[in-house]
Structure 1
Amino acid sequence: ALQHAGAHTVVITGGDDEQQQHSAWVTDLIFSRSDENFPETAAKPSFALHQQRETTQAHGTGSQFSAALAVQLTKGTRLYDAIVIAAAAARQALIASSGVLGIEFGGTESGGMEPERSVYRNCIASALPQSGDEWPLITDVGTYPRTDRFEPYNPGLYVLTESLDHLEMLLDMGVDTVQWRIKAPGTDYKDQTRRALAMCRSQGVSFWLNDDWPLALELKPDGVHLGQEDLVSADIDALHAAGVALGISTHTEWEIARARAQKPSYIAFGPVFTPLSKRLRYQPLGIDCLTAWSKRYHTWPQTCIGGIVPENARLVAESGVGSLAVVTCIAGGPADEPLMRSNIADLRAALEMFSPAPK
């Protein structure tokens, strides 16, 4: 009815539903309109937001949520990110609540009304949680976060390629992880993928397939990397059961919350800078945001992508992200081999300066 009346987004707050009383989660439901300015609304016009249940009860969580939401929207924060931040703020206000002595009137045996002293707990605005494990999780409506976690994996120096000849060059130069990303699959796509997988395994390099989770279930590569759109249809349970690791791309707070709910092997942040190899759909994160996310979500292996080149690699690695994913600066043919080899050496030096090499 609210949507029919013209509401752009409706939030149904959780916590009081009797059906959730024995759940570990407090779940809010969000229903929004698809908005071309925010790709995430097209991917998920509705979703569930989960937070760990607290035993404390206090007045004012709704006020804290709405106030935090208003502040974030006024600052220009993306709609879904504003909702995630506001929910985290409301939970922290609940945790920080304190007792305040108040007066209420209760009945007596004679039927009169006499004042009684009682203590109310009221929410107190507090700083956002520093640990990413305390931030909300996002799933489809009617579902909950996964309980089984994928095996953690640090991609290290992470290169993306779509050519067997190029792959052979990269393997000779020494990389940690390869993502096989074919933008326009041909009739020999599956055969080439098998060959690429065999080449990586012969060199002891981890092989990850981009997007194509059905083929990943068939060929059993080390892992599959999924974008946010792929999460709509991917069979995450089947990937976990098959022992195929999972990496997920993220560009916003909401997408990080959605990725974390799937318990992936790693989370990819991007674009750090303006991408050199694809059209920009999201504003670049910049070093400050990357550093903040790296610190907040440090319990998860991470990588990052977007405009990373030897000239800025040390600045990116200093964020603590632990892995660099690159495309353009390692592209080329035989004539470009000296530059490619030099770039890979510079990227690895940046990683080794600020993080241990993956084992």
Structure 2
Amino acid sequence: MKCSKETMLLYAVTDRAWTGKQSLEEQAEAALKGGVTCLQLREKELDEEEFLKEAIELKRLCAAYHVPFIVNDNVEIAVKCKADGIHVGQEDMETGKVRALAGPEMMIGVSVQTPEQAAAAQEAGADYLGVGAVFGTATKPDAIDVSLETLKKICETVSIPVVAIGGISKANMHRLSGLGADGAALVSAIFSAGDIEQECRELRRLSEQTFLTSRQF
């Protein structure tokens, strides 16, 4: 499965910090019911066995909703669970090596903060880019801030889809309109919600208003 711009429209990134009354799988399914267009599993604490078990379950869920499933950082887990994609950062495995391990069909997303990084990632074979943090975020305290002007320059530099990430919410998503991005990736704005499905329905409407006029599919 290769990446389309539609895939980026409302991109959910899981965070176990918000589980409680619901399991991560239940939260993910609520987000899928609400209209997310992509789901990334981000795990930093689980051992490999539990990570793989969870990845297989979320891959099954995403397939049922016809939504691409992406694994963060762990290429081996992505390959084993037959994920639709793998997302890596600047400090993770180099894009070319990821492609060699993942094969020609798996989507590769790369986090970038500058036009130069964006151009290099595209040249190396990335299928889409994650750009951020565009707003302040407590989810990833070490994230490098990226100005909206830089986001626009990155979108002008590459031809592959671009998703903005970092502190995006219903209150500020409109500020991303017209910059060239294809969608927004959200963590706490989705998974901290009391009613995740309803929250995603509202976020989906907002993302369509914000991004569908920015670039023509």
Quickly name the TM-score band, shorter chain normalised. 0.7 to 0.9
1:1-359, aligned counterparts within 5 Å? 151-154=2-5, 155-162=8-15, 163-186=24-47, 187-232=49-94, 234-241=97-104, 243-282=105-144, 284-297=145-158, 299-332=159-192, 336-337=194-195, 340-356=196-212
Question: In structure 2, what is the Cα distance between the partners aligned to 1:330 and 1:152?
Answer: 22
In the TM superposition, residue 293 of structure 1 has moved relative to its aligned partner by 2.1
- The answer (yes or no) to whether the contact 2:173–2:210 under 8 Å persists in 1 is no
For residue 308 of structure 1, what is the amino acid of its counterpart? I
Name the SS for the 2:163 alignment partner. strand
Question: In structure 2, what is the Cα distance between the partners aligned to 1:252 and 1:287?
Answer: 11
* Distance change (3 Å), C-alpha of 1:288 and 1:175: same
- The answer (yes or no) to whether the contact 1:317–1:323 under 8 Å persists in 2 is no
- The answer (yes or no) to whether the contact 2:30–2:197 under 8 Å persists in 1 is no
Question: In structure 1, what is the Cα distance between the partners aligned to 2:58 and 2:83?
Answer: 10
Question: In structure 1, what is the Cα distance between the partners aligned to 2:91 and 2:162?
Answer: 20
Question: In structure 2, what is the Cα distance between the partners aligned to 1:248 and 1:177?
Answer: 15
Name the SS for the 2:171 alignment partner. helix
- The answer (yes or no) to whether the contact 1:158–1:323 under 8 Å persists in 2 is yes
Question: In structure 1, what is the Cα distance between the partners aligned to 2:198 and 2:138?
Answer: 19
Question: In structure 1, what is the Cα distance between the partners aligned to 2:50 and 2:31?
Answer: 21
For residue 192 of structure 2, what is the amino acid of its counterpart? G
For residue 167 of structure 2, what is the amino acid of its counterpart? G
Name the SS for the 2:111 alignment partner. strand
Name the SS for the 2:86 alignment partner. strand
Question: In structure 2, what is the Cα distance between the partners aligned to 1:167 and 1:244?
Answer: 21
In the TM superposition, residue 341 of structure 1 has moved relative to its aligned partner by 4.2
The residue number in structure 2 matching 1:127 is none
Name the SS for the 2:172 alignment partner. helix
* Distance change (3 Å), C-alpha of 1:294 and 1:350: farther
Residues 12-64 of structure 1, C-alpha deviations (whole Å, 9 max, x = no match): xxxxxxxxxxxxxxxxxxxxxxxxxxxxxxxxxxxxxxxxxxxxxxxxxxxxx
Please provide the CA RMSD for this pair.
2.4
5+ residue gaps, structure 1: 1-149
- The answer (yes or no) to whether the contact 1:152–1:264 under 8 Å persists in 2 is no
Name the SS for the 1:261 alignment partner. helix
Question: In structure 1, what is the Cα distance between the partners aligned to 2:70 and 2:173?
Answer: 22
Greater Rg, structure 1 or structure 2?
1
The residue number in structure 2 matching 1:118 is none
* Distance change (3 Å), C-alpha of 1:307 and 1:198: same
* Distance change (3 Å), C-alpha of 1:151 and 1:173: closer
- The answer (yes or no) to whether the contact 1:274–1:280 under 8 Å persists in 2 is no
Greater strand share, structure number: 1
Structure ranking higher on relative contact order (CA contacts 8 Å, 6+ apart): 2
Identity %: 24
Name the SS for the 2:52 alignment partner. helix
Question: In structure 2, what is the Cα distance between the partners aligned to 1:345 and 1:276?
Answer: 24
In the TM superposition, residue 310 of structure 1 has moved relative to its aligned partner by 0.6
* Distance change (3 Å), C-alpha of 1:164 and 1:342: closer
In the TM superposition, residue 215 of structure 1 has moved relative to its aligned partner by 1.8
- The answer (yes or no) to whether the contact 2:131–2:162 under 8 Å persists in 1 is yes
Question: In structure 1, what is the Cα distance between the partners aligned to 2:43 and 2:33?
Answer: 21
Count of aligned residue pairs for this structure pair: 203
Name the SS for the 1:267 alignment partner. strand
